[in-house]
Amino acid sequence: DKVFISEPKKIETVNDPKLNKKKENVVIKCKRSEFNHYRNQRYDKLKPIPVASKGWMHRKSKGDFFTIKIYDENYEPNLLYWDEEKSFPDLKIHDSVIDALRTQGIMKPTKVQVDSIPKILAGKNCLIAAETGCGKTLAYLLPIIEQLMKWSKVKSDRPPNSPLSLVMCPHRELALQIGDIAKIMSYCLPFTCTTIIGGRTKKKMLNPKFEYVDLVVSTPGALSKLISTGIYNVNEVRHVVIDEADTMLDDSFNEVLLRILKKLKIGYQNLSNSESSCPENCQLTLVSATMPKSIYKSLEDIVETDSLVTLKSNRLHRILPHVPQTFYRLAVSEKPTKLLQLAKQSLKQKVPTLIFSNKSSTTDWISLMLNENGVPTVNLNGEMNYALRLGKYKEFKDGKVMILSCTDVASRGLDTTHVKHILNYDFPVFMADYIHR
C-alpha cells in the first residue's frame, strides 16, 4: 500500500512489545476491532460481553465479518489424534495385520483406536463417538479383521453369500471408501470382502452373484432388498457395525436399518469360549462423529442399551481447533457474487474446496453458475441419478476438479484430508451438521 503525505515528516515506528504480543494473540478478529477477543482475555462479570455478530439482524450491518483462529499455521493438528505411548502389538493386533498396516504407511494407532480396539476384541457392544478424521474406520475394521481370521476357519462350511460381519453406512461414496480400505487389507490377509451399493439392484436380483464372503460393506437399502429376496443370508453374522450412526438412526434410514438389525441375534456380550469356536450371538458397534440423542430409544427393541460401552473423545461436539472460521454478514442478493469471488480464488490457488448447501436444488444451481463463469465444478447430492453420481467424488478427490458443490452427503465420513477450504453457502439447520462439515 502507498501512503501519500503532503509534507515530508519523520515517521516514528512504535515498537511496543505488549501491543505486538496482543496482536499475535487475537483469537476472534473482527472488522470492528473493538469486538476483538484475545487469548486469555477476561470480561467484567457486571458488563455485557461484546459479541462479534451483535447487530447483524439490522440491514446496516451488511459487509461486516469476523474470523475465529485459535492456532496459527505452525500448529500440528495430528497431536490431537496420535497416542504416543501405545503401539499396535500392545493392542494385541496380529503381526500379519500390523505388516499389512505398514504397507499402507500406518505405523502407530490413534487415541480412538487405543481406546476402542481392546473393547471390541473383548466382544463388547460399543458406541464410538469421536471427531472426524481421528481414525474411527480402522478402530472397528482392525478388530473385525482379527475376528474374521479366526471365525472364517471355524465357519468354513457356511453357504455362499453368508457373511460373518456387516458394515452399514448411509451413502454409496462412504461405502465404497470403507470397502476400498477393507479390500486393500484383504490382499495381504486371509479374509474376503465385498461392497454392495444401490443402483441397478434389480439387475443384481435377476442375475445374482454368489461367492464366499466374510465381510460385507453396504448401504442399508441395497442390502435390505438382497436379504428379502434371499440372495444374502445374515444368519451367520457375528459382528455388525453402523457407521455414521446419528444419520443412520434418523427417520430417513431408521425403518430399513431396524428391519435388518431385527434379523440379527445381538447379545449382551459376544464371547467365544476358545480360539477354535465362534460366538453364538452378534456383536454391535456404533460409530459417529456426534453423539446421537435418540440412540437408546431407537435401539431398545434390538439390544440391551446398558450393554453399550460408550467411548467418547474429549473433543466431541467441538470444532477442530486448527481450522480457522470466517463469518460474513451478507444480503441474500450478495451471496452468489461472494461465492464466485471465493471460488475463483480457490481455483487460482489450486485449493480443493467443498461448497455445502442445504438442498439438492441449490447444489445443482451452484454447479451450473460456477461452470458458466469459468470455474470447473462437480456436483454431488442424494437426488442425483446413479449413473451421474458415480465417480463424481472420485474426480474431486483425484484432483481433476478443484471444487465440489454438495449437500451434507459429503460431510460425513468421506476422506477429505486433501480439502483446504470449506464454504457454507447455506448455514446448516443443526449444529451437529456444522461440526461434520
Distance CA 69, CA 323 (A): 7
Distances (CA, A) of 315 to 79, 81, 103, 110, 318: 13, 10, 30, 14, 6
Residue 54 vs residue 4, higher pLDDT: 54
Complete DSSP assignment for 93-160? --HHHHHHHHHTT--S-BHHHHHHHHHHHTTBEEEEE--TTSSHHHHHHHHHHHHHHHHHHHTTTSPT
Average pLDDT of the residues of the chain? 85
Distance CA 73, CA 90 (A): 34
Cβ contacts of 134 within 8 Å, gap of 6 or more: 80, 81, 110, 111, 112, 313
Q: Running DSSP on this structure, what letter comes out for residue 266?
A: B
CATH 3.40.50.300 in the chain: give the residue spans. 77-312, 331-436
Query: 23: buried, middle or exposed (CB in 10 Å: 19+, 13-18, 0-12)?
Result: exposed
Q: Running DSSP on this structure, what letter comes out for residue 182?
A: H
Distance CA 181, CA 104 (A): 10
Q: How confident is the model at residue 78 (pLDDT cuts 50, 70, 90)?
A: low
pLDDT tens digit sequence for 291-333: 777 777 878 888 888 888 999 887 777 777 788 999 999 999 9
Distance CA 320, CA 314 (A): 12
Please give the torsion angle defined by the CA atoms of residues 58, 61, 65 and 66, in that order, rounded to the nearest 10 degrees: -60
pLDDT tens digit sequence for 249-283: 876 677 888 889 989 988 877 666 556 678 888 99
Query: 24: buried, middle or exposed (CB in 10 Å: 19+, 13-18, 0-12)?
Result: exposed
pLDDT tens digit sequence for 362-389: 999 999 999 999 999 999 888 887 667 7
Predicted local confidence at residue 6, as pLDDT: 40
Q: How confident is the model at residue 13 (pLDDT cuts 50, 70, 90)?
A: very low
Predicted local confidence at residue 7, as pLDDT: 41
Predicted local confidence at residue 10, as pLDDT: 40
pTM comes to 0.78
Lay out the sheet containing 165-168: strands in order across.
Answer: 193-196, 215-218, 165-168, 239-242, 283-288, 125-129, 308-312
State mean pLDDT over 412-434: 86
State mean pLDDT over 145-149: 93
State mean pLDDT over 118-128: 92
Q: Which of 312, 303, 282 is nearest to 129 (CA)?
A: 312
Q: CATH number for the 77-312 domain, one of 3.60.40.10, 3.40.50.2300, 3.40.190.90, 3.40.50.300?
A: 3.40.50.300
Predicted local confidence at residue 240, as pLDDT: 94
CATH class of 331-436: alpha beta
Q: How confident is the model at residue 54 (pLDDT cuts 50, 70, 90)?
A: confident
Predicted local confidence at residue 5, as pLDDT: 37
Q: Running DSSP on this structure, what letter comes out for residue 161?
A: T
